[in-house]
Chain A
């Protein structure tokens, strides 16, 4: 066919160049933060660091890791991401499995109750008042319980579960398994692609969420790293950062260089797992959204 033998034309070259520019514009701001975080803070104040560190230094990172408040915040983030994501995936999948079984009495009502929540919500203030009345303000659980379930994710799970051949469940039933253990031992293991997708989406939400820490938490020892960074970034509180820097390393470290190193630490885990999970989220995204 002619199409296959056609040489790379002007259009192709222009297209490739535009795509390369887009890639550069996407990567460069991230790269800029990275190289400046590895540069001596006082030297970086002179500016002009565009491609690689001028005076390589690990002191910014040493200052970050030596800061108890920051490390505590990092720990809170890890804890809320791991616990919050596991509970969200397990609980949402469990409810999804129950309402995906066609013999369940009242499933249409259950689905209607859920669908309504996709279109209507109480809004910020009633939500805040509820959290307050439940006694969740200033507790770690405020990150977990309100995010434990999502009807939107339930739909994605349910779509996937419907494709599972009934024979698998039947075989387990003959062996005497009850519905809950069928869900845990049969359904979950064959649903890993969708479990991974929802886990990724919710994990990213938990990791990146800073607003819960702003609105529901006053106790600084309970704030996650994103909230910690938010206060640095939005309040441009240079005093706050200066006081956060331990005295041993202040010679070359500046509030700006600390900020950049903290940003890298707060992002690295996401960038690290991203390539491994990419194949899952593209697939899972299709399950969820191409059903219209």
Chain B
């Protein structure tokens, strides 16, 4: 992200100190419309971002509906202790980390491979067509995909029919009711939905690689795979690194929309992740303080992961987010 600002000249610093104050007011008056436009955005941020940030203090208090946040009594780290002693903690953590790590190991390299091989297609029209088709699922909502999955994975669904027909199973399986299949369903449906979309950024990076490099390599007798692995891949290393840092820092962020649709009481033991747990105890059971404490633990660890991944990649190959 580029937040660098164009260098600004500050001619007023050279004016005598006496007139500086009135100069400032004059400038402010001149740009009062611009200031109003900017401040309206700041007011929105204050309400919708900074007030909830202040609201985090309820995780150190005993908050309930009848009292305001300021009136609620302090309880220190009570809620954090309760979370670490909670019976759900082990499987909630296991599901969160398990699914995220698998997504990272399987789901992260696939779009890179897809982009590399897509780039090798000779026909531009075919390449465009494949791209267009592969982006499409990204625009479907998880509810729609949930509808497809519940249809396909049902007892009488197409997956059971197919597996019965080839003799891989003897009787139909209710995949979404069996905890054992949940992770696989989540990972594969995520890949189905995002493979093409995630490849866009790599394709763009590949396009910006200088053709001269490939020409030189061709003259030196390099083959297709050699060019792929010794030119293309190293040239897009920076992009890969940035996206990897973001992926690592997001490891505690499960895809809430996805899991919330697919999870049910029968697969709870392998589907409940930190985010859905926060919803469950916070909204369904109205334990606001406790749920906020759980959310805070998650955000703190996620931020440390971001810093960690950033400093490691910085040291390893001099690429970093900040």
Contacts and interface: CB of A to CB of B under 8 A. Distances in A.
Interface in B39-67: 40-42, 44-45, 47-56, 58
A33 B58 CA distance: 46
10 contacts: A25-B192, A29-B192, A32-B148, A33-B148, A94-B37, A94-B40, A129-B288, A151-B45, A214-B260, A236-B150
A19 B38 CA distance: 47
B151 A123 contact: no
Contact of B295 (A11, A104, A123, A130): A123
Nearest to A27: B133
Contacts of A266: 141, 143-144
B124 interface: no
The main secondary structure of chain A at its interface with chain B is helix
B104 interface: no
Contacts of B34: 98, 101, 104, 179
A275 B278 contact: no
B37 to A, nearest CB: 4
Interface in A204-222: 204, 207-211, 214-215
A65 to B, nearest CB: 18
Contacts of B140: 30, 208, 267, 270
Nearest to A277: B139
A281 to B, nearest CB: 8
Number of contact residues on A: which range applies? Answer: 35 or more
Contacts, number: 272
Contacts of B139: 204, 208, 270-271, 274
A17 B261 CA distance: 33
A107 B278 contact: no
A260 interface: yes
Number of contact residues on B: which range applies? Answer: 35 or more
Interface string B284-322: 000010011001101100010010000000000000010
Contacts of A117: 45, 49-50
A147 to B, nearest CB: 9
A104 B118 CA distance: 46
Given A47-B156, A123-B295, A233-B147, 6 more contacts: A33-B147, A125-B283, A178-B33, A208-B139, A208-B141, A208-B143
Given A99-B38, A149-B45, A226-B143, A128 B53 contact: no
Given A289-B201, A292-B1, A19 B52 contact: no
B19 interface: no
Which 4 residue pairs are nearest across A and B when measured between Cβ atoms?
A122-B52, A126-B55, A95-B41, A208-B141
B33 A155 contact: no
Interface stretch (B3-11, B84-92, B95-103, B179-187): B3-11
Given A104-B31, A275-B132, A180 B37 contact: yes
A27 B200 CA distance: 19
A202 interface: no
A51 interface: no
A179 B6 contact: no
Given A123-B278, A124-B279, A211-B260, A259 B147 contact: yes
Contacts of A85: none
Given A124-B278, A126-B58, A180 B33 contact: yes
B150 A122 contact: no
A232 B143 CA distance: 10
A60 B187 CA distance: 32
Contacts of A18: 117
B42 A110 contact: yes
B126 interface: yes
Interface string B122-155: 1000100110111111011111101110111000
Interface in A30-54: 30, 32-33, 47, 50
B224 interface: yes
B49 A121 contact: yes
Interface string A258-292: 01100100110011001100100010011001111
B55 A122 contact: yes
Given A23-B130, A103-B27, A123-B52, A233 B35 contact: no
Given A18-B117, A267-B140, A102 B49 contact: no
A12 interface: yes
Contacts of A146: 48
A286 B204 contact: yes
Contact of B147 (A22, A94, A211, A229): A229
A29 to B, nearest CB: 5
B261 A130 contact: no
- Of the candidates B28, B34, B201, the one having the most CB atoms from chain A within 10 angstroms of its own CB is B34
Contacts of A95: 37-38, 40-41
A193 interface: no
A233 B146 contact: yes
Nearest to A267: B144
B226 interface: no
A275 B161 CA distance: 34
A248 interface: no
Given A26-B192, A120-B53, A126-B52, A159 B45 contact: no
A154 B44 CA distance: 13
Contacts of B250: none
A127 interface: yes
B194 to A, nearest CB: 11
Contact of B33 (A111, A179, A208): A179
Contacts of A118: 1
Given A11-B224, A19-B117, A47-B156, A126 B56 contact: yes
A75 interface: no
